[in-house]
Amino acid sequence: MAGFLKNVMRNRVMLLMVLPGAAWFFFFSYMPLVGTIAAFKEYRFSRDGFWQSLINSENVGWRNFEFLFSTDAAYIITRNTLLYNIAFILIGLVFAVAMAITLSEIVNKRLAKVYQTGMFLPYFLSWVIVGYFVFSFLSMDKGLLNSILSQFGVSSIQWYNEPQYWPYILILVSLWKMVGYNSVVYLAAIMGIDRSLYEAAMIDGASKWQQIRNITIPLLKPIMIIMTLLAVGKIFYADFGLFYSVPRDSGTLYSVTNVIDTYVYRGLKTTGEIGMSTAAGLYQSVVGFVLVMISNYVVRRIDKDSALF
């Protein structure tokens, strides 16, 4: 004990430095872990604060989870979250790598930089802004898409009421926002490839296409695998803004736009099923934890430096 106090005194300045941040983590990351008890309660907000609310709320054991998994909801939100993320990861990977290779091969480097600047822009905009952008295309009566379709004699489509189009729309919008950002990562990796490899290949008479297939892509493989695995670790978490703001929270689209995060949000703010939504959130955290541990373990095996921890 005395030794501990001595250590604390010796490290007091450093401890003072971590104090504000540690306090933040305590309140905003560790206290909510206590709050997950709400998943096992019929939680009611009490005026007298958190502890009183906990005491006043009835214990229900695993009932919230039983309810959650007895409805379609759990299946639909899990399916949507997983399938969309898988699509984003795979299609995004192909496009980002293809775009990075294209940019790296362009002869005029100035122009390549200009293109890259344009591609990077969507990453900096909020989903609300993107939602407005999408609306300018998909608005039923004023949107660009319907007026183009009408040129071809196709009658107006109520985009925000037709679920069948939305998987494609959401994948397109997600690609639009993320490909530029991800291609920067791959472009940096390509720039790091030893030029003499290409020179040697040229001397052996390899075509550009063969060089890309046999030099660039194999050398990008480690970073592709790592980026993908890190994304797989987050596969149970959806991008809330994309699924909430872009479809304008349209109720008719829920079957294809409801993901775990939006479900939890609506449970809190609209339907008021606090217990069940907390249960869904806890389910997400637990499965997400397992996935991130597995993917991090695999990343560590491949390349220790790229692991999250």
Q: Considering only residues 163 through 222, tell me which ones interact with other proteins, judged by CB under 8 A.
A: 176, 179-180, 184-185, 188, 195, 198-199, 202, 208
Q: What is the phi/psi pair of residue 170, to 5°?
A: -65, -40
Task: Closer to other proteins by CB, 44 or 79: give it.
Answer: 44
Q: Give, in degrees to the nearest 5, the angle at Cα 175 between 169 and 176.
A: 85
Q: Show contacts with other proteins in window 240-259 (CB under 8 A).
A: 240-241, 245, 248-251
Which residue in the set 3, 61, 118, 205 belongs to the binding site for other proteins (CB under 8 A)?
118
Does position 15 bind other proteins by CB under 8 A? yes
| Smallest gap from residue 83 Cβ to other proteins (A) | 21
Q: Which stretch binds other proteins (CB under 8 A): 65-73, 74-82, 111-119, 213-221?
A: 111-119
Does position 155 bind other proteins by CB under 8 A? no
Q: Is 69 helix (H, G, I), strand (E, B) or coil?
A: helix
How many residues at the interface with other proteins, by CB under 8 A? 108
Does position 106 bind other proteins by CB under 8 A? yes
| Smallest gap from residue 68 Cβ to other proteins (A) | 13
| Smallest gap from residue 208 Cβ to other proteins (A) | 6
Question: What is the number of other CB atoms lying within 10 angstroms of the CB of residue 63?
Answer: 16
Location of structure tokens 């069948």: 164
Q: Show contacts with other proteins in window 36-95 (CB under 8 A).
A: 36, 38, 43, 45, 49-50, 53
Which residue in the set 10, 66, 94, 221 belongs to the binding site for other proteins (CB under 8 A)?
10
List, in order, residues 6 or more apart from 47 with CB less than 8 Å away: none
Q: How far apart are the first and last CA of the chain?
A: 31
Q: Are 106 and 289 in contact (CB under 8 A)?
A: no
Location of structure tokens 């959401």: 170
Does position 271 bind other proteins by CB under 8 A? no
Which residue in the set 68, 99, 232, 299 belongs to the binding site for other proteins (CB under 8 A)?
99
H or E, element range at 294: helix 274-302
Burial annotation 76-101 (CB, 10 A radius, 16+ → b, else e): bbbebbeebbebbbeebbebbbebbb
CA separation for the pair 300, 85 (Å, rounded) = 22
Does position 135 bind other proteins by CB under 8 A? yes
Which residue in the set 60, 87, 112, 215 belongs to the binding site for other proteins (CB under 8 A)?
112
